[in-house]
Amino acid sequence: MNYIKTTILISSLVLIQSLAYAQNITILNPYMGYTKTKIKINPVQSNEESTIGWKLLLENKIPVAEKRFKTAYQLNQKNMYAVWGMAVIYLNKDDFDSALKMLDEAYIVLNKDESFLVDYSKALSIIAIQKKDEFLLNKAMGIFEQNYQANKENTYNLQNWAIALMLSGNSKKAELLVEEAKKTKNANILDKNFLDELQKFKN
């Protein structure tokens, strides 16, 4: 399953409205590719790098996007948009354990960000289905529901939820969510391939 080629809802990255500052720190997160490296913090440049990284990621330019996210993290370890981006890259590589660790790290900060939560629940469901992890799947379903209660018009969440339900054997509920998604203002983003696949499950 190619995660990058599926629709990802990305929030507008809010650049930090402050002057860059410099400070020596040590990078200890092995998932970002750095260990014990002296660098200078620059939050503004970090946000710029992660913004470019997301643009490249959506263009499926994964290697260069990965470099941008790692640079962004190196410049500011608090940049969870960079961590989120790297999680998507790890997921695309089928490195589910690394993806999950980075998603959970980003969740600590981005747990109120609707776009992240929509992507987070989708990613969790993909990992859960691939690993046959019932506990993780239930967690994903709970976040889908949470997202739905927060915004019942979010077409992406409805579609992602329906896909997860279909793949986990609940095509009837998936159909109900699709019908609801078709009534939303962004119904045009619904994936025709998924809709066709759902019909096969129905038949």
Q: pTM of the prediction?
A: 0.80
pLDDT for position 89: 94
Question: What integer is the mean pLDDT of 169-184?
Answer: 96
pLDDT band at 104 (very low <50, low <70, confident <90, very high): very high
Question: What integer is the mean pLDDT of 103-113?
Answer: 96
pLDDT tens string 127-157:
999 999 999 999 999 999 999 999 999 999 9
pLDDT band at 180 (very low <50, low <70, confident <90, very high): very high
pLDDT for position 200: 85
Beta bridge partners of 39: 25
* Distance separating alpha carbons of residues 74 and 71, to the nearest angstrom: 5
* Other beta carbons within 10 Å of 116: 22
Cβ neighbours for 51, distance < 8 A, ≥ 6 positions apart: 13, 15, 81
pLDDT for position 33: 54
How confident is the prediction for the chain on average, in pLDDT?
84
Query: Using DSSP, how many helices (H) and how many strands (E) does the chain show?
Result: 9, 2
Letter for the amino acid at 203?
N
